[in-house]
Structures are given as structure tokens and as C-alpha cells.
Amino acid sequence: MNFFQIIDQLAAVDPDVLDRFDSRRAVFSSLGSAAKRSALAATPLFLGALFQKAYAGTKSTPVDVLNYALTLELLEADFYRLFLAAGTLPNAAATAAITQIKKHEDAHVALLTRTIQAAGGTPVTGTATSGIRFKPSAFPSTYAGQLQVAQLLEDTGVRAYKGRAAELVGTTLLTTALQIHSVEARHAAHIRVMRGQRPWVSNTDDVATNPTYTSGVTGTPSTQVTTPGGAFGIPAYTKASPAENNTIQVNLPLTTALATTYDAADVAAAFDEYLQPAEVVDASRAGGLLA
């Protein structure tokens, strides 16, 4: 295991990660011999403890992270309940797809709920009539509009899970989150195909200017999210996350490196960017869809 390579890779997700440590050398200054340092750096326990220290005061508890994920899953599950009940699905294939996605979201809700309970926490809740649920007045009346909201929700979910993965490093909960994250990405791709769009995010999409694909929020968001179904903490918002039209990865301007072969839209489409919690729960995004 190359510890410094891990740090470099994490920096691609959190550009401020190196600032959280005194210095690369200082990380090991109190660990004793070179042999001891090498052994410790190869252990997940050491990495988990180090990241816990590095992110102290900037992150939520693991239960908070999972409640944040559960809020999104409850919102999506209720949206698909409304979708199936709307009577707008045009054919058996569309009905089967939305039915299957709804089953996945229900399974995610069940898993996250049990995981939070097993960790000694209190999961947020939601039903068709109370708690965390989709705002009925925001539900579109047409099939095309319903598919568009589905795309925005799924793409938000993918960015939201990515934005919190670093907080679960060193815990077994990271596996749980990543298992769900990959399925949400598949949902997003399938919904996009149903809409006649590319299966990947592109800055030439018909909804590319929607806040889901941009970044930043106004004001100073609270670090406590309170919903009808429960409350949980989120990290303080510091600066905007990369927008989905970003063409710079790990400080490398790829539009320059690939200028003879790819345009900016091609480069941006090759990467999914993360969103911070404050950007996800903002009223301009998923937060505005909560009842």
C-alpha cells in the first residue's frame, strides 16, 4: 500500500486534503522507527485514525452521513411511488423500468435504516403521507416532465454519494455507500436513455444549466439539516464544488492535454464531479423537492 499515493488520489476528491495535515513528514513524526512507520502506514486502522484526525471538525458522524443518504433514498423512493401511480407510463418497458428502480430505492432505504440502527443511531423516516417525502406540488403532470425530474434526482444522488465518500474512509460503512452509489449511477444512465439523452453527463445536455449540474449555494448554510422525518449534521460549506462542465482534473487542464482529439464537452463528460451536502440539500436542488 502506497500511503502517499492514497493521499494524492484523495486530493482529487478533496483539493484541501493536504492542508488538513501539518505536512507529509509531520504525519509520521511521532511514530518511531522507520519499520514501525512502514507497518502502520500499511494498515487500514492507521489510515482510518489519520483521516478521522485530519477531518476533525469538518465532517459529520458516520450516522449523519448515512442519514443524509437515507434522506435522498426516501425522497427518490417516494418520487417513484408517485411516478407509478400517475398513470403516465406509456408502455410495458417503461413501467418495468420504473418499477425496478422503485424496488432498488426501497431496498436502499431498508439497508440504510438497518445500518443506522445497528450503529446505535436513529434513522430519519418517511412515508407516503409524512416525514421525508416528495413534494406533491413539485411532481410534473407529464411523462416527459416526470422523466426529467427522475434524471435530475438520480444524477444528484450520484454526485451526493461521491461527495461524502472520504468521510467514511477507514469504516466498514464505506462499502455500503459505494454499493448504493454504483446502482444510482446505473439508474441515472437508464433514465437518460429513456429520455433519449446520452447515458453520461455532458455540458451539452438539454438540462445542462440546471443547478444539479452547477455548483455553489448562496448565503451561509446551516450545518444542521432538519426535515419532517428527522435531523442530522452536515459539514460546514466552505467553497463551491466543481461544476459538471469542469475540464481540469487533479490540476491538469485536459482541454490542453487532449486538444487535438477532444473538445471541452468530451472532456467534461469523462468525469462525474462531487457535490457537497449543502449544495445537495439547498432549496435550488433536492432540498426544494422535500414536502
Does residue 152 sit within a domain? yes
Q: What is the pLDDT of residue 53?
A: 43
- Shared domain for 83 and 108, answered yes or no, is yes
- Shared domain for 123 and 69, answered yes or no, is yes
Does residue 177 sit within a domain? yes
Question: What's the domain range around 39?
Answer: 3-54
**Residue in the block written with cell 446520452:** 198
Of the chain, the end-to-end C-alpha distance in Å amounts to 46
* Average pLDDT by stretches of 10, the chain with 291 residues: 52 50 46 49 49 47 94 98 98 98 98 94 97 97 98 96 89 88 96 96 91 90 94 93 90 82 88 94 94 94
Q: What is the pLDDT of residue 169?
A: 86
Q: Residue 143: which of 213, 203, 194 has the closest Cα? A: 194
- Shared domain for 175 and 135, answered yes or no, is yes
81 CB-near residues (< 8 Å, 6+ apart): 102, 128
Q: What is the pLDDT of residue 5?
A: 55
